[in-house]
Amino acid sequence: MAIHPIEYRYGTEEMKGVWNEETRLHKLLCVESALAKAESEVGLIPAEDARTIAENIHAVSLDRVNEIEDEIQHDVMALVLAIAEQCGDAGKWVHFGATSSDILDTATALQLRDAIDIMGERLHRLLDLFVRQADLHRETVCAGRTHGQIGIPTTYGMRFAIWACEIERQIERMDQLRPRVVVGKIGGAVGTQASFGEKGIAIQKKTMDALGIGSVDVANQIVQRDRHCEFVMWMANTATTLDKICTTIRNLQRSEIAEVAEGFGKKQVGSSTMPHKRNPIKSEQVCGLSRIVRGMVEPELLNNTLWDERDLTNSSCERIVFPEACILTDHLINLTIKIIDGLEFYPANIKRNLEHYRGLNMAESVMIVLAEHIGRQEAHSVIRDCAIAARDGGRDLLDVLLEREEVTAHLDSDEIVAAMDPYSYIGTAIEQVDAVVARLRTRT
């Protein structure tokens, strides 16, 4: 019976496949086979026996490994014994000179590589969607907001361009951390490679080359966890980017704003009791689950503070942190792709909110024009007084401005009306968006 929501509610089959028991066993077997091959190439074990191990190792079953572990209470030794059973006399060379973490940490690197590849592909898809939306809405002028209050105009193209650039930075961070994270080791009990003699460095390099991953420069019994910390923090950072984006979408879908909304299926139900509801449930899920991903940061940081050459406090923790953080982060990226791809816009509401403030949001524009005649500080004071009078009196700012001699003495009515046009006060927004779109299209 399924218990954890990851089993039945959250996550993609691709990412779950990276972390299931069968895949884990396969990666462990690949490491043991690569190790035997490397050892044979430097003359530490017979080449014929290494070939026998390679030919028979994948006959090992998960059931058999678990059966042995139940008896001896050691996961890697159970793996070694299960392999040896399949390899006859050559089985005596399985795991020769290695310590458990050599195999475990290197197999983890293979899984992390696959997980990064999956999330990277999805992030590029998301980046492409943001670029498309930025281009499509490059001239969609809307109310800007600071502190939750309406400010001067911006454009939806700007919003999407900003998000696109942030996703690009997350992709860059991912690419930068990959060579630091996707590394394995063959160092023996405390990292000195004493069990391999003078051939230890060559064995480690040949093993990792065969697996297609990097090697540590130096390690104790384990790959140092600052590498994994960086990866988990990257996932938390990426999840927080998605949280920010979806928080904005949730706010913009509020009934009193209603500028955009998540797509809503023909048979979708918004509420069990209120038939009219269209709730931003996907965005809410992104915001909620991002909290779980961020919560993985501290446990993984603490996994770096082990005793001496190592202890085992990281092991049980990482059995949860790595799969959960990867599955949930991948799920959040995939969910955000669906949200952005199906996002609906309501132009009438965008226009209504832009004009909702009765011109008060254009006070800066008038101030800038007036400042050319009387200076910035005095212009700010004059327009501030006009804005207060308009707000307190429930009037349009334009009407108040046209009555004020401090304004009309320097600006005629056409100049004031022009300064009050929100569609003309977006600065270089379109040019900025166009530059971002042109640059990022080469990455998508």
What distance in Å separates the CA atoms of residue 97 and residue 35, rounded to the nearest whole number? 10
What distance in Å separates the CA atoms of residue 313 and residue 305, rounded to the nearest whole number? 9
In this structure, which amino acid lies at residue 31? Answer: V
Q: Is 137 noted as a catalytic residue in this protein?
A: no
What distance in Å separates the CA atoms of residue 132 and residue 175, rounded to the nearest whole number? 23
CA atoms within 13 A on the CB side of 119: 33
Query: Per the residue annotation, which of 4, 61, 74, 271 is the catalytic one?
Result: 271
Distance of CA 227 to the CA centre of its chain: 17
Query: Per the residue annotation, which of 147, 255, 276, 316 is the catalytic one?
Result: 147
Beta strand extents in 58-171 (DSSP E only):
141-146, 149-155
Q: Is 61 noted as a catalytic residue in this protein?
A: no
Helix axes 21-41, 47-56, angle to 10 degrees: 170
Greatest extent of the chain over all pairs of C-alpha atoms, in Å: 103
Count of beta carbons in the 10 Å neighbourhood of residue 243: 22
What distance in Å separates the CA atoms of residue 435 and residue 439, rounded to the nearest whole number? 6
What distance in Å separates the CA atoms of residue 87 and residue 79, rounded to the nearest whole number? 13
CA atoms within 13 A on the CB side of 82: 26
What distance in Å separates the CA atoms of residue 191 and residue 101, rounded to the nearest whole number? 10
Active site residues: 147, 271
